[in-house]
Amino acid sequence: MDGYIIIFAALTIELIGAPTPGETLLTYCGYLVFKGQLNYFLTIITATIAVITGITVSYFIGILLNETVISKYGKYIHLTPKNLEKAHKWFDKYGNHLFIFAYFIPGVIHITGYFSGIIRLSFLKFAVHAYSGSLIWTATFVTLGRVLGYKKKKRREKKANSHLSYK
């Protein structure tokens, strides 16, 4: 049970913006699934809910920040009204694909929720694409860790068998 709480806390905090290694954590969780210490589906469900929670919080923080605050202070972090307009057009054009691929580009997903809120992307559009992307992202890395566990086991077995054949 503690493992699932740690997964939830770490991934929620990551999507709000803390620099935690989500991909590494999920891959390791997949390895723990392989070893039988975590349940595959419960791990993916917990991780997905955590990511959804974190990115939704960042979306609402983005709404609270609003364009007025960004216009006043955004220049210090290169968020000018011109850049916000570009981001808005980009979201309108590529939004559905952006959320899915953004999870796989380190650092990008951390700002996507904020930008979505700042530019007032409709919550429904945000939720549909961000939440489906979160499921794809978490399932991919948990599955990767699980598969790597099997590969590691096969290499060990092969190595053990090769030593036996020389005797």
pLDDT for the residue 166 = 54
Rounded to an integer, what distance in angstroms lies between the CA atom of residue 1 and that of residue 128?
29
Q: Is 142 or 115 the better-scoring residue by pLDDT?
A: 142
Q: How far apart are the first and last CA of the chain?
A: 46
Give the closest residue to 123 by CA, choosing from 25, 52, 28: 52
Separation CA 43–CA 4 (nearest Å): 7
What is the reported pLDDT for 134?
A: 93
Kindly list the distances between the CA atom of residue 59 and the CA atoms of 43, 53, 109, in Å, as whole numbers in the listed order: 24, 10, 11
Question: What is Dmax (Cα atoms) for the chain?
Answer: 76
Arithmetic mean of pLDDT over the chain: 84
Looking at residues 149-159, what average pLDDT do you find?
73
pLDDT band at 143 (very low <50, low <70, confident <90, very high): very high
Residue, of 17 and 167, whose pLDDT is higher: 17
What is the domain partition of the chain in residue ranges?
Answer: 2-158
Question: Which of 122, 128, 98, 113 shows the shortest CA–CA distance to 60?
Answer: 113
- Determine the pLDDT at residue 165: 56
Of 4-8, 64-68, 76-80, 118-122, which one has max mean pLDDT? Answer: 4-8
pLDDT digits over 64-114, tens only? 887 677 777 777 766 777 777 777 777 777 766 777 778 888 777 888 888
Tens of pLDDT, residues 21-61:
888 999 999 999 999 999 999 999 999 999 999 999 999 99
